[in-house]
A and B are shown apart, each in its own frame.
Chain A
Amino acid sequence: MKKTYSAGILLLAVALLAGIVLIQERSSELKRYETTFFDSFDTVTVITGYAESQEAFEKQAGQLQEKLRYYHELFDIYHSYDGINNVKTINDAAGKEDVKVNQELINMLKLGVDMYQKTDGKINIAYGSVLSLWHEYREQGLEEPEHAQLPPENLRNERGQHTDISRLVINEKDSTVFLEDGEMSLDVGSIGKGYAVQRLAEYAKEAGMEHLLLSVGGNVCAVGSKPDGTPWQVGIENPDLESDKSYVGILELSGKSVVTSGDYQRFYVVDGKRYCHIIDPDTGMPPEHFPLVSVLAEDSGLADAWSTALFNMEFQEGLALVESMPGLEALWILEDGGIRCSGGFGFHEEK
Chain B
Amino acid sequence: MKKNDVILIVVILALALASFGGIYLYSAGNTEDGEAVVYLDGVEQGRYPLSQELSLEIPAENGNYNLLEIKDGKADITEASCPDKICVNHRPVKHLGESLVCLPNRVVVEIENSGEAELDAATR
Contacts and interface: CB of A to CB of B under 8 A. Distances in A.
B40 to A, nearest CB: 10
A236 B123 CA distance: 5
B112 to A, nearest CB: 9
Contacts of A13: 12, 15-16
Nearest to A143: B83
B103 A38 contact: yes
A7 to B, nearest CB: 11
Contact of B103 (A5, A43, A251): A43
Given A9-B8, A17-B16, A44-B108, A142 B121 contact: no
Specify which of A35, A226, A234 lies most central, judged by the most chain B CB atoms within 10 Å of its CB: A234
B89 A234 contact: no
Contact of B98 (A16, A219, A234, A246): A246
Q: Chain A, interface size: which category? A: 35 or more
Contacts of B93: 246
13 contacts: A5-B2, A9-B5, A17-B16, A24-B23, A32-B116, A38-B103, A48-B120, A213-B120, A233-B117, A235-B119, A237-B124, A258-B123, A262-B124
A266 B86 contact: yes
A42 to B, nearest CB: 7
A243 interface: yes
B101 A259 contact: no
B73 to A, nearest CB: 12
B42 interface: yes
Nearest to B94: A246
Contacts of A265: 86, 124
Nearest to B17: A16
B45 interface: no
A259 B119 contact: no
B17 to A, nearest CB: 9
Contacts, number: 109
Interface string B17-30: 00110010000000
B16 A36 contact: no
Interface in A1-36: 2, 5-6, 9, 12-13, 16-17, 20, 24, 32, 35-36
Contacts of B101: 44
Nearest to B23: A24
Contact of B106 (A38, A143, A246, A250): A38
Given A143-B83, A234-B123, A235-B119, A12 B39 contact: no
Task: List 9 tightest A-B contacts by C-beta distance, closest first.
Answer: A218-B124, A36-B42, A232-B120, A235-B122, A16-B16, A237-B124, A260-B123, A215-B121, A13-B12
A218 B122 contact: yes
A271 interface: no
Contacts of B90: 241
Specify which of B39, B97, B123 lies most central, judged by the most chain A CB atoms within 10 Å of its CB: B123
B33 interface: no
Nearest to B93: A246
A179 interface: no
A46 interface: yes
Contacts of A16: 12-13, 16
